[in-house]
Amino acid sequence: MSDRLSKSGILLIDKNKGPTSHDVVASLRRLLGIRRIGHSGTLDPMASGLMVMCVGNFTRLNPWLTKADKTYEATIRLGATSDTDDEEGDIAATADIIQPDLDKVELVIDLFKGEIQQIPPAFSAIKVGGVRSHKLAREGKKADLSPRQVRIMELAIREYNYPFLKVRVHCSKGTYIRALARDIGRELGAGGYLAELRRTAIGSMDVKNALTLEQVEFYQGSGTLSEKYLNPRSALQGVEHIQLSESSQMKRFGHGNVVALNREASFGDCAVYHPNGDLCGMGKMELGQLRPTVVFTTLSAV
C-alpha cells in the first residue's frame, strides 16, 4: 500500500454532548496531523454518539457512507414546545394539558412508523431560496419548508414517565429526530421537543466499537491508531462488492479504464477490492462492464 493510502482510513468516533461536528473534525486534524478529514453525517451539539470519520483519501467514500440508515436513542419532553424543536431553543409550556396515558402514546407512536411525510425544523441547514433555514429563523422570518418523505423502520418505546418519553428510532437518512419529537408531541395534544439524543448506529456500524477523542489521542501517541481503523468492507456492507483477480484488470481499473468482466450483472454502485482485500475504489457495474468512479490504486501500486 502506498504511503498516501496508509494515512487513509475510517474511524468510528463516539462524540460527547457539547462539541459541534466541526469541532470533532478540527480535533482529529490536530491529533492526526492530517488536514483531509470529513464525516458522513452531522450530529447537533446537544447530541452524543456515533460519527463515521473518513481520513485522507477515504473522504471520497462519503457519498456512499452518507446513504446509510441511522439508529438513535431519544428522549422526548412532553408538555412544552421549543422554537428549535430541542432543548436549546426558547421553551414554552403547553397550557391545559391532559396527560396522555401509555395506551394513547402507543397509538400515536404507531402513526409514525413506515413511510411518513416530515417537515424539517425551522432551525435547520436546508436552503430556502438559497438561504439557510436557520438564518431565516434567527431573523424572525418564516421559512416555507416542504415536507420530505422519510422512513421509520423502528420506533419503540423504551420508557414512559410523563413528561419524558424515551424511544429507540431506526430511520432512513435525512430523518430529523427533532421534527419527530415535535410531531409526536403535537399529535398527543401535549406539545413536545427533543430533550436528549444519542446516535447508536449508522448502517451496520455500532457506537460500541467507536473511540472517544481521548482514546484517539492515546492510540495516536502509542503509534497504534492505524490498527483501530475500520475495515472498509464493514463500512460499505450496504454496497455491492467486486473482487478483481487478474493483474490486467487491476491495471485497467487503476488507470480509471472500464474493465470487462465475465458476467452479465448490472447493479450500479459497487466497492472494488484487490485480491489481498484492500479497497481499490468504487465503480458502477453495468452489463458486465465495471466503470471506475473512484480509484485509490495506481499502476505502481498494483
Among residues 3, 14, 23, 44, the one annotated as catalytic is: 44
Half-sphere exposure of 145 (CA within 13 A, CB side): 24
**At what angle are helices 213-222 and 21-32 packed, to 10 degrees?**
10
What is the grid cell recorded at 301?
Answer: 501500486
Rg (the chain; Cα; Å):
22
The vertex-275 CA angle with 271 and 276, nearest 5°, equals: 100
Helix (H, G, I), strand (E, B) or coil at 71: strand
What is the grid cell recorded at 218?
Answer: 492515546
**Whole-angstrom Cα distance, residue 50 to residue 39?**
11
**Whole-angstrom Cα distance, residue 239 to residue 1?**
23
- Residue 101 a catalytic site member: no
Number of H helices, E strands in the chain: 9, 18
Reply yes or no: is the peptide bond before residue 163 cis, omega within 30 of 0: yes
Q: Which of 232, 239, 243, 234 is nearest to 275 (CA)?
A: 243
Q: Which of 195, 173, 191 is nearest to 65 (CA)?
A: 173
Q: Which residues of 2-41 are buried (b: 16+ CB within 10 A; e: fewer)?
A: eeebebbbbbbbbbeeebebeebbebbeebbeeeebbbbb
The residues assigned a catalytic role are 44
